[in-house]
Amino acid sequence: MAADIFSTFQLDDLMLSSRMVMAPMTRNRADDKGNVTPMMVTHYQQRATAGLIISESVPVSAQAVGYPCTPGLFADAHVTGWLRLTNAVHSSGGRIFAQLQHCGRISHPDLQPGEAVPVAPSPLRPSGKAVTYAGMQDFVTPRELMLEEIPDIVAQFRRAAELARRAGFDGIEIHGANGYLIDQFLRDGTNRRGDAYGGNVGNRMRLLNEILDAVSQVWPAGRIGVRLTPENSFNAMVDSDPQTHFEYIIRELGTRSLAYVHVLQGDMSEKSSAVDYRALRACFPGTYIANNGYDLELAKKAIANGDADLVAFGLPFIANPDLVRRYRQGLPLNRADPATFYGGDAAGYIDYPFFTGEEVFAI
Ligand SMILES: Cc1cc2nc3c(=O)[nH]c(=O)nc-3n(C[C@H](O)[C@H](O)[C@H](O)COP(=O)(O)O)c2cc1C
């Protein structure tokens, strides 16, 4: 029988209640010290019927921060706040991984300790603007990380991985996607280094490998996932040959017995895609999470065809805390309001209604 999106799924030693994953989504509702707020606890608890929640991006250090009001994991107070949140998710039967992030060049001196210039593999200024407490400001040219600084970046991830354990998460997702620091190393449009961390794809992957080695000393491999975006142009990213490069990267990741690889397929801003994701998926022997633009029908098809083991949904989970039930029972969906995505109060965050009317029909 073909696999079913609503069936349970054994993710290493964790049993998930379905194959529906809530995609990581930054909502800028933490306080300005990076602490979890009560409305965040409510937001995630409301969505605990997802088979697995992947948290919004969590900066691994003060240097890793790239946006206002993002919840961190680099201070004891952060652990206390997240523990409240993970307890709430668990008490409602959910599972939650922390998405560990370093923004690299997608930051601004206004967000950095001592107003430092943000760091990156190479001093290449992204087009576009940073979101700061003083509003939108042009990105600056980042400072190239010196070779001797790289062990500290790795240590930042390791420390955050330790704090994620103390904070009660079920696992961690290393954010290697969407134009942030690890992705800046992976893709050749942003990595012009001439040392062991630049040049061929094996070298560009060295930072990710070192981070995975480090966090594997804290978590079993089966509780560590990696997110990748071979093609997403978000944050001014390009790569000369995503098919070849990401087949290599995913094949290498496949040797580690990770919980999963999570791929945002295509480009968030364009419909077209030059990458053969079926070929990419075939490079990975473990659990593959597909994401980007999936609705129920597409997700069912991907799972039935074996193109994905799990499917992550972003926008549908913003607007529908009870998305699993709505999909399962063929109920109408609420629409997400982009005006309330990033920052603000409870409106558009914890006030999307659960379905309370008559069930419409069963799919
Ligand atoms: C408001 C918003 C915030 C997002 N924040 C993150 C994030 O913190 N980390 C990440 O990897 N992707 C982030 N994304 C991308 C989503 O995880 C997902 O890849 C994207 O929404 C496409 O999936 P969908 O078509 O199901 O919405 C964000 C997307 C949105 C709409």
Q: What is the CATH number of the domain that holds 229?
A: 3.20.20.70
Low-confidence ranges of the chain (pLDDT < 50): 362-363
Residue 108 lies in a domain: yes
Give tens-digit pLDDT for 43-90. Answer: 999 999 999 999 999 999 999 999 999 999 999 999 999 999 999 999
How many independent structural domains does the chain possess? Answer: 1
Which residue's CA is the closest to the ligand 1 atom numbered 25?
A: 293
Report pTM: 0.98
Residue nearest to atom 10 of ligand 1 (CA): 24
Any domain includes 349: no
**Which residues lie with the beta carbon below 6 Å from any ligand 1 atom?**
23-26, 56-57, 99, 175, 177-178, 227, 264, 268, 291-294, 313-315, 341
Query: Which residues are 260's β-sheet partners?
Result: 225
82 CA distance to ligand 1 centroid (A)? Answer: 20
Q: Which two tokens stand for residue 291?
A: 């994401």
Ligand 1 centroid to Cα of residue 358, in Å, is: 31
Query: Does residue 355 fall inside a structural domain?
Result: no
Which sequence positions are flagged as catalytic? 180
**Candidate from 25, 58, 173 with most ligand 1 atoms within 8 A of CB, to mutate:** 25
How far, in Å, from the CA of 38 to the mean position of ligand 1? Answer: 22
Distance 205 CA to ligand 1 centre (A): 23
| Rama region for 225: left / alpha / beta (φ>0; ψ in -120 to 50; rest) | beta
- Would you say residue 213 lies in a domain? yes
- How many other C-beta atoms are found inside a 10 Å radius of the C-beta of residue 195? 12
Nearest CA to ligand 1 atom 29: 25
Q: In this structure, is residue 240 part of a structural domain?
A: yes
Instruction: Tell the residue nearest (CA) to atom 3 of ligand 1.
Output: 25
- Residue 206, in any domain of the structure: yes
- Which residue CA neighbors atom 23 of ligand 1 most closely? 292
Structural domain includes residue 222: yes
> Residue 359 domain-assigned?
no
What pLDDT, on a 0 to 100 scale, did the predictor assign at position 1?
54
Residue 148 alpha carbon to ligand 1 centre in Å: 33
Determine the atom of ligand 1 nearest the C-alpha atom of 175: 11
Among candidate residues 228, 132, 225, the one with its CA nearest the CA of residue 178: 228
| Cβ atoms of 82 and 96 closer than 8 Å | no
- Looking at residue 2, what is its pLDDT? 65
What pLDDT does residue 362 have?
Answer: 46
Q: Which residue range is the domain that position 318 belongs to?
A: 9-340
